[in-house]
């Protein structure tokens, strides 16, 4: 048997405040859940810190609804004066995340700058280009660079 209880005028605002606090807690939990999705990539990044010759590019590919795009091919290039060097290639995971490791010797030439000028190309399984930066978005890139790509519009970072 369910008993209905009438709430007093004092109890109603109190309960409304509790509901508001619960909403805030739920929002915070969603942020934490989003951060935890990068845990596998984060562990790989921490491992890369041990060697100063390790360089890493990581990020996420999303569609127009901000859902991760699964199993697209990400290729990383260093733009040089003579020709562009491919530094690595990988596929996105189920959340659209990717991580590419490369080493200093993969991009340093005697005539070039100390750091790479990076750009990415995103392709589907048939090799069709879905997204490409024609000019480097990361001139003189650091050892750890993050790229977030939206296939429904412009890159987000």
Q: Which domain holds residue 135?
A: 52-150
- Using 50, 70 and 90 to split pLDDT, how confident is the model at 51? confident
Q: Is residue 112 part of a domain?
A: yes
Tokens 């930066």 correspond to 133
Q: If we measure between CA atoms, which residue out of 46, 49, 55, 35 comes closest to residue 105?
A: 55
Q: Is residue 81 part of a domain?
A: yes
Q: If we measure between CA atoms, which residue out of 84, 74, 91, 150 comes closest to residue 118?
A: 84
pLDDT of residue 21: 63
Residue-averaged pLDDT of the chain: 76
For the chain, the domain total comes to 1
pLDDT of residue 76: 92
Q: If we measure between CA atoms, which residue out of 78, 43, 73, 45 comes closest to residue 61?
A: 73
Q: Quote helix, strand, coil % in the chain, to nearest 5.
A: 25, 30, 45
Q: Is residue 69 part of a domain?
A: yes
H or E, element range at 42: helix 39-48
- Per residue in 59-110, pLDDT tens? 999 999 999 999 999 999 988 777 788 899 999 999 999 999 998 888 776 5
**Alpha-carbon span 89 to 76, nearest angstrom:** 6
Q: Is residue 80 part of a domain?
A: yes
Is the Cβ–Cβ distance between 77 and 119 less than 8 Å? yes
**Alpha-carbon span 41 to 155, nearest angstrom:** 20
Tokens 């399984």 correspond to 125
Mean pLDDT, residues 43-71:
83
- Using 50, 70 and 90 to split pLDDT, how confident is the model at 36? very low
- CATH of residue 130's domain is 2.60.40.3330
> In percent, how much of the chain has pLDDT > 70?
60
Length of the chain as a residue count: 157
- Is pLDDT at 142 greater than 50 in this prediction? yes
Mean pLDDT, residues 17-31:
58
- Is pLDDT at 18 greater than 50 in this prediction? yes
Q: Is residue 128 part of a domain?
A: yes
pTM for this entry: 0.66
Q: Is residue 11 part of a domain?
A: no
């Amino acid at each position: 048997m369910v008993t209905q209880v009438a709430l007093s005028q004092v109890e109603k605002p109190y309960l409304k405040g509790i509901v508001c606090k619960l909403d805030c807690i739920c929002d915070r939990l969603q942020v934490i859940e989003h951060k935890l999705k990068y845990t596998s990539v984060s562990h790989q990044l921490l491992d890369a810190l041990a060697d100063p010759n390790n360089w890493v590019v990581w990020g996420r590919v999303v569609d127009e609804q901000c859902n991760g795009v699964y199993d697209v091919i990400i290729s990383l290039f260093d733009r040089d004066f003579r020709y562009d060097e491919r530094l690595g290639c990988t596929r996105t995971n189920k959340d659209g995340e990717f991580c590419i490791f490369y080493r200093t010797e993969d991009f340093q030439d005697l005539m070039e700058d100390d750091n790479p000028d990076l750009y990415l190309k995103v392709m589907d399984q048939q090799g069709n280009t879905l997204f490409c930066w024609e000019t480097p978005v990361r001139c003189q890139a650091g050892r750890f660079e993050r790229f977030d790509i939206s296939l429904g519009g412009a890159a987000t970072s």
